Amino acid sequence: MKARRGAHTVYRLAYHFVWIPRYRRAILTGSLAMRLEELIREICAEREWIIEALTVQPNHVHMFVSCPPRDAPATVMNVVKSLTARELFTAYRTQLRRTHWGGKLWADGYYVGSAGDHVTADLIKRYIDDQDAELEGFDPSS
């Protein structure tokens, strides 16, 4: 994964999301699964979120996506889940009403984990500690 540039930022942020349909029903199959993948790709492209990996399984979705720092993981998930639910309920109303009679496609929760290029929490802590060590003996007035 390459570092990306914004107007005033250089970043390398990626998140692994996993979410499930409400009741963990195995409904993400066939044309519905293909349409869901298309929708996710469209939503991400419109917002400059780069999909590194995406898979739609019958009862869950995995998405590994790189996002600018302005977009919090909670925002990403809210946008993806709400827009896909709206579109899929419009296109597959009869099919989805049989299993999701309450009008909610996705379960409330999700998993998110962050990832970077071989950067671990220990490495970041060590880097920050080393910055403090470099400042020892530094006199800004000289």
Segment 54-91, tens digit of pLDDT: 999 999 999 999 999 999 999 999 999 999 999 999 99
Residues of the chain with pLDDT > 70, as a percent, come to 82
What pLDDT is recorded for position 109? 96
Question: Is 47 in a helix, a strand, or coil?
Answer: coil
Residues of the chain with pLDDT > 90, as a percent, come to 56
CATH of 4-117, one of 3.30.70.1290, 2.40.37.10, 3.40.50.720, 3.30.559.30: 3.30.70.1290
* Helix extents (H) in the chain: 30-46, 73-91, 93-99, 121-135
Residue of 52, 2, 3, 63 whose CA lies nearest to 28: 63
The residue assigned the tokens 């009862």 is 59
Is-above-0.85 flag for pTM? Answer: no
Q: Decide which of 24 and 2 is more confident.
A: 24
Residue 31 has pLDDT above 70, yes or no: yes
